[in-house]
Amino acid sequence: MIKYIFSFFIFILFLTGCAPEYAIKQVYIPPVGKKAKQCIKSCQISYEKCNINCNSIYNQCLNDAFQRAKDIKNIDDEQYQKKYNEYLQDLHEYNSKNFNWQNEYNQNYKDYLYFKNRCATHHDNYACNREDDLRYMIRELLNTKPKKPIQPKEESLNEIVANEQRVCSNNCGCSKNFNICFLNCGGEIQMKKICISNCDKQKK
C-alpha cells in the first residue's frame, strides 16, 4: 500500500514539474500620435538618467561602506588580539585546573568502584559508608568541573563589509516614476499573466 502511495506522489510531482509556470508582468501599451510618442521618449530619457544617477549613488555608497568596514576591521583587530590574549591565559589556567580535577575525579571514582564492590560482596559497614561518601564526593566534583573558556570570534572583513553595505540601495523609484510619466502621456499599463516556463504544455 505504501509503495502505491509513494508512486502516486511521485506521479503528482512529475505532473507539477511539467506544468507551465506563469508570472504577472506589466504590459505597456503606448499611445498613438506624434506628440504622445515624444512624451514617451521624454519619459524614457528621464528613466535612463534616473538609473544612471541611482547606480552612481549606489556604487559610491558601496565604496564608502567598504572604507568604513576597513576602519572598523582595524579597530576590531586590536580588540580581538586583546581578547585572544586573555583567552590564552584563561585556557592555560583551565588546562591546569582541569588536569587536577580529572585526577581527583579518576581517583575518587576508582575508590568508589572498589568500595561499592566490597560493600556488595562482603556487606562491610565501613565499605558501604565509604561508598556513600564517595558517591556524594563524585556528584559534588561533577558540579564543580572547570568550564573551558570560549575562544573569541574574529569577524572577517567580508562580514563587516556586508553589514555596512546593508544601508545601500539601488531602488530609487525610477520604474515607478516612469510608469506615472507613461500614463500621463496617455499610455496604458496592463497586468497580464504570462507563461515563462514549460509553455508548450499549455492547454490548447
Asked if 62 and 163 count as a contact pair (C-beta separation under 8 A), the reply is no
Mean pLDDT (10-residue bins), the chain, 204 residues: 46 55 86 92 96 96 97 96 97 97 97 95 93 96 96 95 95 94 93 79 56
Return the C-alpha torsion angle 126, 127, 128, 134, nearest 10: 110
User: Across 20-178, where does the E strand assignment appear?
Assistant: 21-29
CA distance 53 to 47: 10
Q: Residue 60's CB: how many other CB atoms inside 10 A?
A: 11
pTM greater than 0.75 (yes/no): no
Which pLDDT score is estimated for 43? 95
State the cell numbers at 134. Answer: 564517595
Which amino acid is residue 34, in one-letter code? K
If you ran DSSP here, which 8-state letter would residue 198 be given? S
At 3 the pLDDT is 46
| Beta-carbon contacts of residue 65 (< 8 Å; ≥ 6 apart) | 161, 164, 165, 167, 168
